[in-house]
Amino acid sequence: MSQKKLIIELRHPVDELKTLGDAIKTLSQPGLSKAEIQQQRLMIKEAKEYQRFFSAYVRYLKFRVKLLEQQIRQAEEK
């Protein structure tokens, strides 16, 4: 039995910032419908969640780098 790995794909931060900027620009326009406002608010909420996931991913990468550096030092000492 093979295990399936969970793959989480994060968009590039620049793309996410563009999406957030577009949502803010759209919200600043007068005469938006309630549905349009809700859609843009949802995009902003998603951007906040993206930032949270991306921050966690960066912390994980830093942890992995430290772990690998430690393993390299230990291997060099042997």
Residue 5 within any structural domain of the chain: no
pLDDT at residue number 1: 58
pLDDT at residue number 35: 95
Distance in angstroms (rounded) separating the CA atoms of residues 19 and 5: 28
What are the average pLDDT values for consecutive 10-residue runs of the chain, which has 78 residues?
Answer: 71 87 92 94 90 88 94 89
pLDDT at residue number 54: 86
pTM: 0.64
What is the residue range of 73's domain? Answer: 13-77
Residue 30 within any structural domain of the chain: yes
Torsion-angle region of 40 (φ positive above 0: left; ψ -120 to 50: alpha; else: beta): alpha
Work out how many domains the chain is built from and give that number. 1
